[in-house]
Structure 1
């Protein structure tokens, strides 16, 4: 059984209990996560074999992070160690009209030590069938960018599927590289694009609007600019307030446009990792279903993630399919 490969930083999250602000709190809860490892764990929960590649601290915090990842069945054999500390972020969970707030402490983290010669991509990808990347990793530093590109080059040579979530974060990209140049470089090795008009505008230096018609035109322009990309999937979030959102998705697969119905989340438990849950559902779905059913599965997985505390989506396939079958009342399963 071949593996799905994820590559990116592992972070510790510190957060007050419930919806408290830090100034109210004396106790903090901690969770492990990180965009790409969140995707990997969710896919493993769907029954796929997954390997995560990263660099974590060579201390008991790093040991605990590895144990957390391993308990979901994700392989950590390609994760290397560093004497620098694990990256940390601090989260205040908002409620109703008060938004959540995040502060990162990752500029000198263990992942900043990652270098291309630390990862044996040739060996890893012999067992690989899919690799997933996001724009966060190359935004963190030259080491992450170079290591990722090396893997994508080999993946393309081997004909391995590559999903790209170019996630542009303005707070990153402090090391001298231009975000647009880097992302367009990496997209030349990618086959599936997970992102919307904002991300397409960023990489094409365009100004498409957000209507469905604009999304289709933007997707066509993206595929023309990057011929290796054959499908574009976009998750759309409509916030009513911090606790109540609607989620739907749309796609252009080079042949047709499709859009899902809304999933309404009226009481959000935790919003962190919901986009990662969508990406994981899509990656899993595209190996099992047609494009539209894959998008529906991804949207349902995303909606379910809003009900779990922490960064990771704990849902399995049966639970996601239950949501797709209309079982959204929350009644007891007996």
Structure 2
């Protein structure tokens, strides 16, 4: 096994044809979650991937598991008959109206995951890389404890650990996010973040409206400041401009081994932006 990820996946319901929720008479169903998306992307690139989670032992939980298996992802699931699947409703925007998301995830199965419930030694057997994000510890105190447990176990097993900061203001405050996540960073080798998330959570960088032509200089400074503070092996920062809902510009930088690496800039016509980071 090359890659292991840990986190929640939810059932997403989206009205067709850019309708608003208040207009909808039907929904399209999707399954996704930050860490599951990473596992799926890896599997589609030919990298063996395993997703670890806690799911409701009902039709919705099994739908999530089946969708993941269908993408070639190996599963390690802590099934529960007493808790629920997380749901969210997503309106796809059309300029000048932005996309909008309504969450219904309180009390979801993974928010009640308990320390000791997952056999991390078995999960990590033969694996090389572990990935998790800041969404999981934001879900509950117990999910935060299990995230910490997983990071310690991954390092003990000799895995490289990547962490996507992925701050969600609807889940917790910046102060809580910093208090919970700063102690986790000692177990992280590679941090993936944005300039805004870094500023909000760790107080590094300055607030800016935009960076003209996706200039990498401010991001380079942020990445190097993070690397100096937490001694990461590498820091990746994504760069995005979205002049229109359906037109984005994407790029990224990586600071590693004292060097700055720049990815090309891509002009992207958006089909469905959810799940792209």
TM-score over 0.5 for the pair? yes
Deviation at 1:217?
Answer: 2.6
Q: Determine the C-alpha separation between the residues in 1 that align with 2:224 and 2:2.
A: 30
Deviation at 1:66?
Answer: 1.1
**More divergent stretch after superposition (253-262 vs 139-148):** 253-262
Q: Determine the C-alpha separation between the residues in 2 that align with 1:95 and 1:128.
A: 42
Aligned: 1:171 with 2:158:
no
Aligned: 1:197 with 2:195:
yes
Partner of 1:239: 242
Aligned 1:1-334 pairs, distance under 5 A: 2-173=1-172, 178-208=176-206, 212-227=216-231, 229-266=232-269, 268-275=270-277
Unpaired runs of 5+ residues, structure 2, are none
Contact preservation (8 Å) 1:96, 1:241: yes
State the Cα RMSD in Å.
1.9
Please give the secondary structure, in 1, of the residue aligned with 2:25.
coil
Deviation at 1:206?
Answer: 2.9
Q: Determine the C-alpha separation between the residues in 1 that align with 2:205 and 2:48.
A: 39
Please give the secondary structure, in 2, of the residue aligned with 1:128.
coil
Partner of 1:329: none
Deviation at 1:220?
Answer: 2.1
Deviation at 1:221?
Answer: 2.1
Contact preservation (8 Å) 2:113, 2:143: yes
Unpaired runs of 5+ residues, structure 1, are 276-334
Q: Determine the C-alpha separation between the residues in 1 that align with 2:163 and 2:30.
A: 25
Q: Cα gap change, 1:230/1:203 in structure 2, threshold over 3 Å: closer, same or farther?
A: farther
Q: Determine the C-alpha separation between the residues in 1 that align with 2:79 and 2:26.
A: 31
Q: Normalized against structure 2, the TM-score is what?
A: 0.91
Deviation at 1:230?
Answer: 1.2
Q: Determine the C-alpha separation between the residues in 1 that align with 2:66 and 2:144.
A: 26
Deviation at 1:203?
Answer: 4.2
> Alpha-carbon deviations, 1:124-180, whole Å to 9, x = none?
112221111111000001121111111111211232111111111111127xx8210
Contact preservation (8 Å) 2:165, 2:192: yes
Contact preservation (8 Å) 2:112, 2:140: no
